[in-house]
Every structure is written in C-alpha cells, then in structure tokens.
Amino acid sequence: MNKELKINTISISLSLIITLVIITLFLFTLSKNPFEIYSVMLGEVFGSFYGFGQMLFKATPLIIIGCGLAICFHASLFNIGAEGQLNAGSFVTAIVLVALSDLPFILAFIISVACGFLVSGLFGLIPAIIKIKKGVNEVITTIMMNFIILYLVNYFLMNFFTVPATQRTIKIPESFMLPQASDLISAFQGSALNITFIFAILLALIIYFIIYKTRFGYNIRAVGFNEIASAYIGLKPARITLLSFFIGAGVISLAGINFVMGYKGYYEFGYTNNIGFTAIAVALLARNHPIGIIFSALLFAFLDFGGLAVNQIIPKEVILVIEALVILSIISVNKLTENYFNKT
C-alpha cells in the first residue's frame, strides 16, 4: 500500500469512527436510544425501493457538486461558492429550456445545460480573476459571491420569470422531463430518483480520469501541491487556476439537472437548501477523490433521508450537526495522521 493511500484510508475511517462515537454519546446524553435510531434509519432506507431510491436521488447532486469542488480543491482553491454557482446554473438551465420549448429535446437539452454551465463557470471565474490579479483569497470572494448571485437570481426571477404568487419559473414541457426510475421498476413509485443518478456516476468516473490520468489533471494537482514549484517546471499556475475554477463551477451547475429536469420541471428559489455547503463535507470526506465522493455522497444522502425517517424520535436538524462534526473531525484527523506519518 502506498503512503498516500494509507493516510487516506486511516484518516477517513478514523474520522468516521470519531463522528459516530460523538453522535452516539450525544444521543445518549439526550436520553435517546441511538441504536434504535440507527436501526430505524437503516430499515427505512434499505427496507424499500422507495427509501433506497430517495437516498440515491439525494446523493445525485452531492456527487456532481462534490466532483466540481474536487477539481477546485485539487488545485488548492477553496471554492465556498457552490451554493451560488448551483443556483445561477440551474436557474439559467430552467429558463433556457422554457425558451427553447419548440426545439427537439436533445438540442434543447444540450443548449440549456451548456448555458447553465457557462453562466455558472463565468461566476466561478470572478473569484479566480480577483485572486490572480489582486491576490485576494478566493474564500472571502466566493462567500460574498454566494450572496450576490442569490440576490441577482432572485431579482431576475421575481421580476421577469416567475409564475405569479410563487417563487418558481414556468414549468418546462413534459417531453423535456428525464426518464424516472419508477418507469423502469414500479417499486420506485413515489421516489424522485431519475436517470441523472447514472449521469452523476459517469461524471465522477470522467472527473476521476481527468484528475488522475491526464496531463491537465496532473497540472492541477501540481499547482495545488506547490504553486511556486509548479511554475518552475513550466506550468502556468494562473491559467490552471482560471481553468479549474471555470470547469469546477460549471460542473457544479450540472447538479441542477436533477431537480429541474429530473424532478420538479422548474427552478424554485431556495431549492438548493445549503446543498452547496453539504457538498464541501462530501468532498472533504472523500479527500477529493471522485470515486470516494460517490460513497461519501451516499453516506450523507443516507443521513439526510434516514434523518427524515426518524424525525418522530429525533429532530431531523441533527443532520446538519452531523455534517459539521464530519467536517471538523475529518480536517482534524487528516492533520493528525499526516503529522504522525511525516514524523515516522
């Protein structure tokens, strides 16, 4: 086993164990039976096609956004702006789809998704350009961009595209909706799982290939590992920063397909519900490895849907607490294991 893999395995399993222990103790102190809660969650999710489908549905955007973030994180760019980028992308995708109602599906699909990708990517470019030109840390700018984009989207939505008395766009044509899992296996009935899940898995494989098997991916990781050294071996860190921010933000926008074309058929303000922040935890837990992201997205989706299932016993808000604990324990354990291995 090589060293990197060893550190990864140890720190991921350690942080999962630590989080589980903390949660269990936490539930005990609230005089709830943690094991009863766990078994109900497992039963709800894995006991029926519906529960299982809901978990996969909730994992879909997390996989896509996690992959987009992984591209940035590999270049050591802390993109906290996924929430905004996703909103901009899905909003644009939805309104372009409506505008192209008369075109054949495949054409409208390609154009609208490309427009979403482009707009989201351009919003991603802003912090990148500011970082390169002015040396401003991208974290502050991406956080500020989140708010700016949300208000911008809200303005355009409320003034030009809204269905009266709602916060959503007009519905896209029925023929533009993506195939549902329930069309194939009727036991999925009621679950929102759709073909976007398969698309997300493929995307993760593609991003894995790009990051680990191509020259471009190597360059991203080289810049992320040591920007100054990478400049000495002839790379252009500025160009890589721009590209990884553009592509990363663009990929994040693709998560909108799941909701807009796979589920509701429109863009609704606030639908993202902090998923851009959850995806940070997803990517961190997988240590930015796209295949790992599939699994960590499934874990968070399990917690999310499972949390709904046990809402009677314990408020579902505990999921947010768990996500935060996962982030904190992962970054701590990562650091400690790295320190440990670098010493020996």
**Considering beta carbons, is residue 98 or 325 the nearer one to other proteins?**
325
Find the shortest distance in angstroms from Cβ 338 to other proteins: 11
Backbone phi, psi, residue 267, to 5°: -95, 135
Q: How far apart are CA 300 and CA 322, in angstroms?
A: 9
Whether 124 contacts 146, CB under 8 Å: no
Tokens at 238, concatenated: 């500025």
**Considering beta carbons, is residue 3 or 133 the nearer one to other proteins?**
133
Q: How far apart are CA 56 and CA 185, in angstroms?
A: 14
**Considering beta carbons, is residue 36 or 183 the nearer one to other proteins?**
36
Q: Which residue has the tokens 């917690």?
A: 303
Find the shortest distance in angstroms from Cβ 342 to other proteins: 13
Q: Would you give the DSSP letter of residue 176?
A: G
**Considering beta carbons, is residue 134 or 215 the nearer one to other proteins?**
134
Closest CA to 321 of 13, 12, 19, 18: 19
Q: Which amino acid is at 180?
A: Q
Find the shortest distance in angstroms from Cβ 130 to other proteins: 5
**Considering beta carbons, is residue 38 or 269 the nearer one to other proteins?**
269
Find the shortest distance in angstroms from Cβ 30 to other proteins: 7
Tokens at 173, concatenated: 């044509």
For residue 194, list its beta bridge partners.
180
**Considering beta carbons, is residue 83 or 194 the nearer one to other proteins?**
83
Q: Which residue has the tokens 């700018």?
A: 141
Whether 67 contacts 207, CB under 8 Å: yes
State the residues that interact with other proteins by CB under 8 A. 30, 78, 80, 130, 133-134, 136-137, 139-141, 143-145, 147-148, 151-152, 154-155, 158-159, 277, 280-281, 284, 315, 317-325, 327-328, 331-332, 335-336
Find the shortest distance in angstroms from Cβ 26 to other proteins: 10
Distance spanning both ends of the chain, measured CA to CA: 16
Find the shortest distance in angstroms from Cβ 286 to other proteins: 15
Sign, Cα dihedral of 209, 88, 92, 121? negative
Find the shortest distance in angstroms from Cβ 193 to other proteins: 26
**Considering beta carbons, is residue 158 or 185 the nearer one to other proteins?**
158
